[in-house]
A and B are shown apart, each in its own frame.
Chain A
Amino acid sequence: MKKLLIPALLSALLAACSTTPLPEDGGAPVESRSGSGSGVAPVTAGGLDASGLPRELTDPKSKLSQRSIYFDLDKYEVKDEYKDLVAAHAKYLVANKGFKVLLQGNTDERGSREYNLSLGQKRAEAVKRSLTLLGVKDDQIESVSLGEEKPKDAGHDEAAWSQNRRADILYKAADGRGEF
């Protein structure tokens, strides 16, 4: 949404410039003078990031850059607080049928590695179900598990474990470029 507003704002300003004199403190909108000192917030409209994906999937300001869904201990249902996020991804995938996602389920480190692999699979499957219920095609989704093998937090306490009970969404564009 923000991305659409900025060009609109710029053209409004340009239009303003052509008809009225500049205000005394200068014409360009200045959001902040702190930081690097240029006072210009860099914005790229559209385009691809390093992995070849559209910026709207990776720009931290975009909701679609949020790719992790966290789960409670021994739980495999997508919690209500993640419904909007899953819906945003579903909407994107329905609108962009050439894109595919890899859903990677993860668990904390306790217990059998292979059983944890199956538990992580259950988490990935839960996200897949939510996406397909919202109209995403089955062949756009692959759900897999990394079990306890790729912890986001290498610690051995509840704070670490809660970070590791997670499903991640990875994107791949139609041209094969992307995150998996």
Chain B
Amino acid sequence: MSRISRRIFLALALSLAGLAQAQLSIEITGAGANRIPVTIVDFPGDPTAARVVTATVRADLERSGLFKLVDNGTAAFDENAPVNHAEWKGKGADALAAGSIARSADGRMEARFRLYDTQKGVSLGGAAYVTNNSQLRAAGHRIADFIYEKLTGEKGVFSTRIAYVVKARGQFLLQIADSDGQNAATALSSTEPIISPVWSPDGGRLAYVSFEKKKPVIYVHTLASGQRHIVANFKGSNSAPAWSPDGRKLAVVLSKDGNSQIYSVNADGSGLQRITQSSGIDTEPRYSADGGTIYFTSDRGGSPQVYQVGASGGDAKRVTFEGSYNVSPRPAPDGKSLAFISRREGRFQLAVMDLASRQVQVVSDSNKDESPSFAPNSRMILIATEIGGRGVLSAVSSDGRIKQRLSVAAGDVREPAWGPYYQ
């Protein structure tokens, strides 16, 4: 609950700042092969509030590409009503969720629900979420996360947020939105470019590169308060920040000693240490999920390729070998795969390497892919790409089957970063 209250505070803080909005719209362009048939019956109670919650749950499950919604007709009953399992099994639903919306004593809304396995005729559990009336969608995302986890065995990411940069009318807007593109709020607007946003592991801060001082400088920005401080503004360029998994350090790229090299620095800007030592370019560092390794891009072998080095330095190992341009490595949070951008016959495409077998699969069908970012459950990867000359975001499942596109009406969207789980 405290998390939801914090969201409300954030939304308020951001909207009070009076900053511009640009709404993301989502289009689903591909779905999984074996989708779980599930029905969400209508919730009794305040009809408007109930509709917001059930519509959010249904849209989340549908968009994931892993569920097929079975029409509930006009069926409406709450989490305590008896369920005719055979009837719903007969309609093709393997699972069913029922619930209710009630106003709690303090005037907030309480969404209660229970999930059933109609095959086995058993309850899979339920929960109740209390929210402000304006945050009912957040309750819907929490319910969808519960259903997703019970039915797939993986944690859901519907309650997460994403960050991205919109370029519109000569302005650069660093925005934060819910994972479904709703509730977009501008955290920073600038007439100079903003690139490379990355979420702190606790989800409260973003590190990014801003060109507002006529050169790239790295900032850390606390979202709820809008406070920001400079983490690296050394002579030369300061770029490509990446948080260590414990949130205490950032790997950064500095050119203070000549070409771009990787360093680590404490989140307050102190304790600078050099990590790589090469005569060429070393950039785009990312910590592995266990924090022990940094993946990065280097041209030390003649062409840009992905390498791996210990988090405090040492000898680097080459990771990619196919092709002459493999950049922007992003290790999956589960440690099993590595996403990167690979140039093949002039197309820049999202590729995923299975780290155990080292097999590489191209998973996108676009050709100007950039800046991949894993969802915290490692299932989806958000990328920036271009459709019809416009910058859009695309979410692709790590097997390439499920695809969604996120765009804004009047501008380019780029530099996506998928935030961590709710904590």
Contact = CB atoms under 8 A, between A and B. Distances in A.
Chain A, interface residues (CB within 8 Å), range: 20 to 34
A142 interface: yes
28 contacts: A102-B214, A102-B215, A104-B215, A111-B327, A111-B343, A112-B284, A112-B328, A113-B196, A113-B371, A114-B240, A115-B281, A115-B284, A115-B304, A115-B327, A117-B239, A118-B255, A121-B255, A121-B259, A121-B260, A122-B281, A142-B236, A143-B236, A144-B236, A145-B215, A146-B193, A147-B195, A149-B211, A150-B193
Interface string A115-132: 101110110010000000
B298 to A, nearest CB: 10
Per CB-CB distance, the 6 closest pairs between chain A and chain B, nearest first, are A118-B260, A144-B215, A149-B193, A118-B281, A112-B327, A118-B283
A62 B102 CA distance: 77
Interface in B197-250: 211, 214-216, 235-237, 239-240
Contacts of B259: 118, 121-122, 125
Interface of A: 102, 104, 110-115, 117-119, 121-122, 125, 142-147, 149-150, 156, 170, 180
Interface string B353-382: 000000000000000001100000000000
B324 to A, nearest CB: 11
B415 interface: yes
A114 B215 contact: no
Contact of B216 (A110, A117, A142): A117
A113 B260 CA distance: 14
B297 interface: yes
A101 to B, nearest CB: 12
B236 A114 contact: no
B187 interface: no
A46 B34 CA distance: 77
A117 B193 contact: no
Given A119-B281, A122-B281, A114 B255 contact: no
Interface string B250-287: 00010100111000000000000000000001011000
B211 A114 contact: no
Contacts of A142: 215, 235-236
A143 B255 contact: yes
Given A111-B327, A118-B237, 16 more contacts: A111-B341, A112-B297, A112-B328, A112-B370, A112-B371, A113-B195, A115-B327, A117-B253, A118-B283, A121-B236, A144-B215, A144-B237, A146-B216, A147-B195, A149-B193, A180-B214
A10 B328 CA distance: 63
Given A121-B237, A149-B193, A150-B211, A114 B258 contact: no
Most interface-central of B237, B284, B370 (chain A CB within 10 A): B237
